[in-house]
Structure 1
């Protein structure tokens, strides 16, 4: 995007990346195979608890998904040393902890997708899928796993 570094774009957006969160169980934060970096499932910062459709609105879910994107960016930064080594977002998969009647999973995951587009421009365009889940770890409202093509 116009020669501007990803760090410069984040600063312009007022985003300061936190330290990468650590895995919640016995798995790696990420794995690199060839030029693909697979990020393990991440949730929003602050560990909110509850379901979309009963405890949270779609708009709140969107914000949680965006926060989750920031968590993923922190993992990428930790793994690569620079977000400028991200060639493109490849795949995003979201699991929305939702009530049985909730039907706006796609609008929730847009919070994550929109962030990738803002940060990486055209390289942030990705394939994706989203699922409603009856239960997720720690009763988080959303968990997202993702795959990126990177410079190795």
Structure 2
């Protein structure tokens, strides 16, 4: 099953986006570079939000990124995930940012394959605050294969 079919089998739907103040995805050569996409879940890890809630927030970010990439490329097929940067709104004592961002990576592995095009480099960082109090913000870089 190809990535587009896998995403749809998981219940993901994609919708057209209108251009906004900033580009959600910029193409440079054969790369698709996304802006940060934020979760709808708000709050701070280590002060009210559990790791599982953080993982759900990171997964939300991945779904939004995939929708933006779909808008830029027209499909999820023919893409390779290169890099993910995950930002976690967390207390100074919280040290499981990597587990939170697994919520994003797990979805990308499920769609693109953990041993194939979904195997990516990643950074997971803690931040004192994120815009509008969101729990997680994620950005990613995809390669358009064969170009």
Query: Same fold judged by TM-score > 0.5?
Result: yes
Q: Secondary structure at the match of 1:49?
A: coil
Structure 1 ranges of 4+ moved more than 3 A? 17-23
Paired with 2:54 and 2:68, the residues of 1 have a C-alpha distance of: 21
The answer on whether the counterparts of 1:18 and 1:71 sit within 8 Å (CA) in structure 2 is no
- Deviation per CA, 1:13-68, whole angstroms, max 9, x where unpaired? 23223555865xx4211111110110000012xx2321111121001000111111
Q: CA deviation at 1:138?
A: 0.9
Q: Secondary structure at the match of 1:31?
A: strand
Unpaired runs of at least 5, structure 2: none
Paired with 1:11 and 1:82, the residues of 2 have a C-alpha distance of: 11
Give 1:114's aligned residue: 106
Give 1:68's aligned residue: 61
Give 1:27's aligned residue: 22
Q: Secondary structure at the match of 1:83?
A: coil
Aligned runs of 1:1-152 on 2, under 5 Å?
4-20=1-17, 26-44=21-39, 47-86=40-79, 88-121=80-113, 122-151=116-145
Unpaired runs of at least 5, structure 1: none
Q: Secondary structure at the match of 1:115?
A: helix
The answer on whether the counterparts of 1:21 and 1:75 sit within 8 Å (CA) in structure 2 is no
TM-score, structure 1 as length reference: 0.87
Paired with 1:21 and 1:61, the residues of 2 have a C-alpha distance of: 28
